[in-house]
């Protein structure tokens, strides 16, 4: 889908929002007839559908743009690097022991395990870039350099600040601070696996089989990564933004004031936004599921103005209380008392670290009856919020 079509869809979505609001305004002080309820329900369904399409297509356009830039800037491999890449690509297409042996002979510094093929560093780095294009968290978070030769990354954290400052006279002695406390968190890339079936005929007839396989792996893995970045429990996987944890965002950063047990309210959003100090406000954004967005698009402030601003410009996000909104299918969407339904924060305070240890196995015969190749992939990554003060979770009352 081209950019012009996406703009048309965004305009249709904006028109629907206007129509929904008109019906709501018309019946604000009187009961709404059933036919109007049905009409509004259909428009809300279409709004949800368009919202999903627009989000998906804008991400795809961004992926295509980045991939195009990578190919434009990519320097062809030469010498031994070219031989290694050629052998790796040959194995992906043919999956034969001979091509695996050829690759191993050229890349003796790579470990080998039970028939697995360790992907070249360039392939892994390109895959990591494509993962970023498939999940908005990786585009906005701080992605640390991939680990090489280390199993984990530790970093210091301030768990309590100083509180010893005092005014005095010229000869006053300072008071020693006893409040400052420093802790440590550890990033340890956790292994994740995926399995993808691809037609042998398709692979044989592709000149860039490695790029195609890489894009398929990236799409599959990205869905699971975004789920973990949202709701992961940190046990063998990333620690999610919507998971209460002293190692990430504790419950002290939850804001429910102003919301009801089943609905997000304007006062609740304002409470969440301004629970974050000024020094962290720059770069803050919202995260909601599309079902929450449907509620938000109907909210008015005390002046009777709608607080949701739909974008009709390609590449420009929708805005809520003056801040960009990210829509994620993997954000919480159950509207029940005490549950999380959104987040406001600076996503640069979510850190991600990957490992360049990546393995691929091509099973050529397992699905021979259906003319398919089975690719099993193993990657390692971790992620967690590192500054809880930069986040506020929107919680129902």
**pLDDT tens-digit profile of 275-288?**
999 999 999 999 99
- Domain contains 209: yes
- Domain contains 244: yes
Backbone φ/ψ region at 93: left (φ over 0), alpha (ψ -120 to 50), beta: alpha
The mean pLDDT of 324-332, rounded to a whole number, is 94
Distance (Å, whole) CA 311 – CA 151: 43
Name which residue leads in pLDDT, 55 or 191.
191
Both structure tokens of 350? 């979510």
C-alpha pair distances (Å), 233 with each of 73, 194, 306, 358: 38, 20, 36, 23
Task: Give residue-wise pLDDT tens across range 367-376.
Answer: 888 988 888 8
Q: Is the pLDDT of residue 70 over 90?
A: no
Task: Give residue-wise pLDDT tens across range 225-273.
Answer: 999 999 999 998 999 999 999 889 999 999 999 999 999 999 999 999 9
- What pLDDT does 69 receive? 53
- Domain contains 42: no
Both structure tokens of 88? 């790796």
Name which residue leads in pLDDT, 112 or 132.
132
Distance (Å, whole) CA 230 – CA 77: 38
- What pLDDT does 117 receive? 60
**How many domains, in total, are found in the chain?**
1
The mean pLDDT of 359-370, rounded to a whole number, is 82
- What pLDDT does 109 receive? 47
Closest among 255, 296, 253 to 394, alpha carbons compared = 255
- Domain contains 68: no
Both structure tokens of 380? 């390692």
Distance (Å, whole) CA 139 – CA 229: 12
Name which residue leads in pLDDT, 142 or 104.
142
The winner for highest mean pLDDT among 21-25, 166-170, 293-297 is 293-297
- Domain contains 9: no
Task: Give residue-wise pLDDT tens across range 109-124.
Answer: 444 443 456 677 777 7
Q: Is the pLDDT of residue 82 over 90?
A: no
Q: Is the pLDDT of residue 358 over 80?
A: no
4 alpha-carbon distance from chain centroid: 26
The mean pLDDT of 196-216, rounded to a whole number, is 79
The mean pLDDT of 196-204, rounded to a whole number, is 82
Q: Residues 387, 150, 107, 133: what is their CA dihedral angle, to the nearest 10 degrees?
A: -10
**Which residue range is the domain that position 362 belongs to?**
116-159+180-289+328-397
Both structure tokens of 331? 């954000």
Per-residue confidence band for 211, with pLDDT thresholds at 50, 70 and 90: confident
Q: What is the DSSP letter of 355?
A: B
Q: How many helices and strands (H and E) does the chain possess?
A: 11, 15
Q: Is the pLDDT of residue 68 over 70?
A: no
- Domain contains 52: no
State the DSSP string of 219-283: HHHHHHHHHHHHH-BSSSSPBPTTSB-TTSB-GGGEE-TT--SS---HHHHHHHHTTS-HHHHTT
C-alpha pair distances (Å), 208 with each of 89, 110, 252: 8, 23, 50
C-alpha pair distances (Å), 221 with each of 121, 312, 338, 359: 18, 30, 31, 14
- Domain contains 134: yes
Task: Give residue-wise pLDDT tens across range 297-321.
Answer: 889 988 888 899 988 787 788 999 9
Partner residues linked to 154 by β-bridges: 186
Q: What is the DSSP letter of 356?
A: S
Closest among 55, 391, 396, 395 to 241, alpha carbons compared = 391
**Listed range (53-62, 176-185, 269-278) with the worst mean pLDDT:** 176-185
Closest among 141, 228, 216 to 190, alpha carbons compared = 228
- What pLDDT does 78 receive? 58
- Domain contains 299: no
- What pLDDT does 113 receive? 40
- What pLDDT does 185 receive? 66
Q: Is the pLDDT of residue 71 over 60?
A: no
Q: Is the pLDDT of residue 170 over 50?
A: yes
């Amino acid at each position: 889908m081209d950019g012009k079509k996406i703009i048309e869809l965004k305009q249709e979505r904006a028109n629907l929002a206007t129509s929904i609001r008109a019906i709501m305004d018309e019946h604000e002080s009187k009961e709404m007839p059933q036919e109007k309820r049905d009409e509004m329900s259909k428009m809300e369904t279409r709004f949800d559908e368009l919202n999903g399409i627009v989000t998906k297509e804008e991400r795809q356009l961004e992926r295509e743009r980045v991939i195009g830039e990578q190919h434009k800037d990519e320097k062809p491999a030469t010498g031994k690097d070219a031989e290694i890449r050629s052998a790796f690509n040959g194995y992906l297409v043919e999956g034969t022991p001979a091509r695996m042996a050829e690759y191993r002979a050229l890349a003796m510094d790579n470990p080998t395990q039970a028939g697995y093929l360790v992907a070249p560093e360039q392939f892994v780095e390109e895959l990591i870039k494509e993962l970023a294009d498939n999940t908005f968290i990786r585009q906005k978070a701080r992605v640390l350099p991939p680990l090489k030769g280390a199993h984990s990354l530790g970093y210091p954290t301030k768990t309590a600040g100083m509180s010893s400052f005092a005014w005095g006279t010229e000869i006053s002695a300072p008071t020693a601070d006893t409040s400052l406390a420093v802790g440590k968190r550890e990033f340890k890339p956790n292994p994740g696996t995926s399995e993808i079936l691809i037609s042998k005929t398709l692979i044989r007839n592709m000149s860039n089989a490695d790029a195609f396989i890489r894009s398929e792996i990236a799409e599959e893995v990205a869905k699971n990564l975004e789920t973990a970045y949202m709701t992961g429990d940190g046990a063998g996987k990333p620690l999610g933004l919507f998971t209460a944890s002293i190692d990430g965002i504790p419950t002290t950063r939850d804001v429910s004031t102003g919301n009801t047990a089943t609905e997000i309210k304007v006062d609740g959003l304002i409470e969440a936004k301004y629970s974050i100090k000024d020094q962290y406000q720059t770069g803050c954004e919202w995260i909601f599921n599309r079902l929450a967005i449907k509620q938000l698009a109907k909210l008015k402030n005390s002046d009777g103005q709608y607080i949701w601003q739909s974008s009709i410009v390609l590449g420009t996000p929708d805005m809520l209380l003056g801040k960009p909104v990210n829509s994620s299918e993997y954000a919480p969407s159950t509207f029940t008392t005490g549950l999380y339904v959104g987040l406001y924060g600076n996503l640069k305070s979510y850190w991600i670290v990957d490992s360049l240890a990546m393995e691929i196995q091509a099973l050529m015969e397992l699905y021979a009856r259906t003319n398919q190749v089975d690719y099993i992939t193993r990657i390692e990554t971790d992620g967690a919020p590192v500054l809880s003060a930069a986040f506020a979770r929107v919680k129902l009352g």
